[in-house]
Amino acid sequence: MSVRVILTIARLTLQEAARRRVLRSLAVLTVLLLAVSAWGFSRIDAEFGDLTSGEARLAAAMVLNLVMFGLSLIAALGTAFLAGPTLAGEIESGIALAVLGRPVRRAAILLGKWLGLVVFGTGFVAAAGLALLLIVRGTAGYWPPEPVTGLALLAGQAVALLTLALLLSTAISPMASGIVAVGLFGATWVAGVVGNVGVALANPGIERIGTVSQVLLPTDGLWRGAMRCFQDPSLFAQFGQAFEAHPFLSIAPLTVPYLLWSLLWVLIVLALAGVAFQRRDL
């Protein structure tokens, strides 16, 4: 398999993504999110002054995680609805058949498109996330303890979702693949909240709902790890009870086995997409 072919397809995928209307919609939503976050943190600064008290840091952490969830949702929508037409749209339009008429392997096309989408998704999360953190720093003087790790986990969440959308696009229509991927993203987040309620109530059955959902689709698990990175670590000692069952506060950091499972999950889903694309009748 030619690396040059994969990189060429990745570049073309990025160029195609830049021309889609989805990108303009993402830009508008991101600007609105940054504006709302600037206003919200300016209100925190006006209410509490500098973030010296525990209550002020707790409010800043919750609002930052809330805004970061909005960013992750925008990234999920963008990557899912860009990944959907990447294969399914070209199969329906006949473009894929024309390309595969040349000596280009299907696996190279799939890897090139996946790589282009990964560059787009991670680049968007890094740029928008850094802009958001700088706004928070400028308006409220708050800087999270592990910003790089948190943004990396959010980028991993986007990669997991776009890989799932790519797999779905080998079997169903472009619009349907995006809708299903985003729907599973939301359902997994809700299941994670339910699992947190189970932890607060000491109910293993309800807690297991969140655990199983985070294994089946690691987007929520990665999100909760990112939340932990954006929180002041001293808050848990002061406000431990406030973390229980809270949708925008996280208690435990991610473990190395879960991170390895998330990476393996992406590779498995990408391999399944390759098998499905190989068997797809063009």
The domain segmentation of the chain, as residue ranges, is 3-279
Share of the chain above pLDDT 70, in %: 83
Return left, alpha or beta for 167; rule: phi > 0 is left, psi -120 to 50 is alpha, else beta: alpha
Mean pLDDT is highest, among 9-18, 36-45, 163-172, 258-267, for 258-267
- Which pLDDT score is estimated for 11? 84
SS3 231: coil
pLDDT above 60 for 89: no
Return left, alpha or beta for 249; rule: phi > 0 is left, psi -120 to 50 is alpha, else beta: beta
Q: Which of 118-122, 196-200, 204-208, 278-282 has the lowest mean pLDDT?
A: 278-282
Q: Where are the alpha helices (DSSP H) in the chain?
A: 3-19, 21-48, 54-84, 90-93, 95-100, 106-140, 147-169, 174-200, 204-216, 219-230, 235-238, 256-279
Q: Report the pLDDT averaged over residues 183-195.
A: 89
Compute the half-sphere exposure of residue 156: CA atoms within 13 Å on the CB side of its CA.
26
Per-residue confidence band for 97, with pLDDT thresholds at 50, 70 and 90: very low
pLDDT above 60 for 102: no
- Which pLDDT score is estimated for 277? 81
Mean pLDDT in the chain? 82
Compute the half-sphere exposure of residue 105: CA atoms within 13 Å on the CB side of its CA.
11
In whole angstroms, what is the distance from residue 279 CA to residue 91 CA?
13
Q: Which of 28-32, 42-46, 98-102, 206-210 has the lowest mean pLDDT?
A: 98-102
For 238-262, the pLDDT digits (tens) are 666 656 667 777 777 889 999 999 9
Q: How far apart are the first and last CA of the chain?
A: 21
Of residues 210, 11, 25, 204, the one with CA closest to residue 113 = 11
pLDDT above 70 for 10: yes
pLDDT above 60 for 95: no
- Which pLDDT score is estimated for 87? 64
Per-residue confidence band for 278, with pLDDT thresholds at 50, 70 and 90: confident
Q: Report the pLDDT averaged over residues 82-107.
A: 59
Q: Are 184 and 217 in contact (CB under 8 A)?
A: yes
- Which pLDDT score is estimated for 98? 46
Q: Which residue would you say has higher pLDDT here, 268 or 240?
A: 268
Which pTM value belongs to this model?
0.87
21-48 and 3-19 helices, crossing angle to 10°:
70
- Which pLDDT score is estimated for 128? 92
For 206-241, the pLDDT digits (tens) are 888 888 999 999 999 999 999 888 887 776 666 666
